[in-house]
Amino acid sequence: MKNIVFSVSACLFMLLNYAPVHAQTTSNEPVLFYFGENSVTLDEFDYVYRKNNLSDDNAYSRKSLEEYLDLYINFRLKVKEAESLGLDTLKSIRDELSGYRNQLAKSYMQDRDVSEQLLQEAYERMKFEVRAAHILFNIEGSGLPADTLKAFNLANDVRKRILKGENFEKLAAQFSSDPSVKDNGGDIGYFTVLQTVYPFETAAYTTQPGQISLPVRTRFGYHLVKVIDKREAQGKINVAHILMKFPENKPTPEHEAEAKSKAEGLVKRIKDGESFEELARKFSDDKISAGKGGVLPEFGTGKMVMEFEKAAFSLKKDGDISEPVRTDFGYHIIKRISKPALTSYDEAKIDLKKRIERDTRSALATHVLVDRVKKENNFKEFPKNKEALYKKIQKDLENPKFNLADKKSLDKPLFELAGRPYTQLQFVEFVENQQSRKREDSAYKMYEDLYEKFVEKSSLDYQDSRLEFRYPEFKALMQEYRDGTLLFALTDQKVWSKALQDTTGLKAFHESNKNKYLWDQRLRAVIFTAKDEKTAKAARKLATKGKLDTSGILEKANAKSAEPLLTSQENIFEKGQQQLIDKIEWKAGVSENFTNPDNTISFVQVKSVIPPTPKTLDEARGFIVSDYQEFLEKEWIKELRQKYPVKVNNDVFSKLIKNN
């Protein structure tokens, strides 16, 4: 990345990148200023000014408005110049804008009201945990409507038997397709929001404890959900543990007794005052956490085995230690570190939004938007054309590499949206571009799923194409990002990179301004440091006589010692650079002795006082480049104001002044 030095004015106009720039209007809004053949209205400037200055106590004063107007005029001139040079047609710029637009458009490709409702719903559900059991009914066969109906009817029949008093666990063991039923009787324990598929979660949270839900469809099949309990959420907890591990194979009573005895011994040592963390490092069989003093990642309900979770959440306060807790892994000693309180909605919102975007429930907001787009744009289907196409491609759909050889006569519409037909051929081409499809599904189900995806994609593509027309704030954000991107690219060419690369211009600028970059008065001096007072006294005497240079003084002082008794530091010093230099009088000669904190002794031999002199280009490069950038920008603005003459309507400008 280039090391660009930003000038003050460069930073100021970069801030303007984030000010919405509206399209030029042809209405009767008063024009604030003209530049070349273009104009900016009072409303546009007022919007930009208010956005960036409203918190300023001097907002809407003449001085504040004049300063901002000057910056804004420069901003518009630079963007206009970038457009005239065709920077907006460069592939790199178009690609950057396209990437930004794709990111920005994501939030507009779902129904915003539904998205907010999902966030609120998830937060409210976070406050509770549900314990539920279920019976799963797979949809067997080819997935045709008849197979779906068969599974639904079976689920309904089993539900009626439960309501009449038959045992839930026995019926779960008989009918459930969930393989874990043999171990848990269908009971999946406690869980909270975003830990199960959304329809199942909704059934669990909306069914009262002791009740059985109606059949619930998920991608796994149909479920009957029995809610066993509902409690306030335990939240999350931070703990550390020490593990006395069982052998990999089934532990014998002797193994269990040995592990428990070791754990009990460690609990006693902790109670006697030994460090939990040190004991974890030395003795824990969980080698991953042992190195961290036993600390585990934060967890909540359903993330640990039940016995461990129950023991951890039963600890009442930070620092509490559990008695040995048995799990299938061995015996654990658990220490509570902290238990964060439930965050507020505003604090939880960002994390919840990310999790919901990865969850199937996010499709709800998309489906609602698709339905709205279809309704607003007179969506109309042609069932006969859809059925005819299915018959034509039914066999080909079962081919993993679907590629229809005969594409003749596929011009009939499957549906219309906003008066535009979407044809059979377009759908076939859509299917050919699909990389993955469930081969276990029937051709009919694949066809229906792909058709729905095609309708959804077509609706969303239409919505995407209309974003600038439907949402003024989207248009404004795209405009400001576009202008900022153009501004950055052109300013880099004209100012930042040019100042770094134009060595001839930089040298000439330095030569004509070299008296701006001066060294302060400096000393050419030697700092001598002796290990003892005797050496310091002898060395200072030699320096005062002035007959020996620095190396001669060092040689004489160190001649009879295996280790140096005297060292030196010779340099050109500035004020504030060296504490000892700042203490002495700045004149040629030898200073008094100074005792250092380490009991060594130093004195300074001042060889000469250097008056203020200009710095070379290399010595002041950073400052010179920054000033040169500012110079280049000012010259550039002069050129732009000549190329695009600016005329401010002072009567209109006066209407903005509200603060004297």
DSSP state of 27: S
DSSP string over 514-575 = GGGSB---EEEEEEEEESSHHHHHHHHHHHHHT-S-HHHHHHHHTTT-SS-SEEEEEEEE-T
388 φ, ψ to 5°?
A: -65, -40
Q: Kindly tell me if the per-residue pLDDT of 537 is higher than 70.
A: yes
Q: What is the 3 state secondary structure string of 576-610?
A: CCCHHHHHCCCCCEECCCEECCCCCEEEEEEEEEE
Averaged pLDDT for residues 225-234 = 91
DSSP string over 141-194 = TT--HHHHHHHHHHHHHHHHHHHTT--HHHHHHHH---TTHHHHTTEEEEE-TT
Distances, alpha carbon 291 to alpha carbons 277, 295, 372, 649, in Å: 9, 9, 56, 72
* pLDDT for the residue numbered 594: 95
Q: Is 136 exposed, middle or buried (0-12, 13-18, 19+ CB in 10 A)?
A: buried
pLDDT per residue over 124-182, tens digit each? 998 999 999 999 998 875 556 777 888 899 999 999 999 999 999 999 999 999 998 88
DSSP string over 96-121 = HHHHHHHHHHHTTSS-HHHHHHHHHH
Sequence-ordered list of residues with C-beta below 8 angstroms from that of 620, at least 6 positions apart, any chain: 510, 517
**Mean pLDDT score of the chain, rounded to an integer?**
88
Q: What is the 3 state secondary structure string of 365-406?
A: HHHHHHHHHHHHCCCEECHHHHHHHHHHHHHHHCCCCCCCCC
- What does the CA dihedral 579, 584, 589, 594 come to, rounded to 10 degrees? -70
- Written as six digits, the tokens of 189 are 């324990």
Angle, CA 228 vertex, CA 222 and CA 230 arms, to 5°: 110
Q: Under a CB-based contact definition with an 8 Å cutoff, are residues 629 and 509 in contact?
A: no
* pLDDT for the residue numbered 27: 54
pTM of the model: 0.62
* pLDDT band, residue 356 (cuts 50/70/90): confident
Q: Under a CB-based contact definition with an 8 Å cutoff, are residues 427 and 454 in contact?
A: yes
Location of structure tokens 């996010």: 362
Helix and strand element counts for the chain (H, E):
27, 19
Q: Under a CB-based contact definition with an 8 Å cutoff, are residues 522 and 572 in contact?
A: yes
Coil vs helix vs strand at 321: strand
Type of residue found at 347: E
Averaged pLDDT for residues 308-313 = 92
pLDDT per residue over 544-581, tens digit each? 998 899 999 999 999 988 899 999 999 999 998 899 99
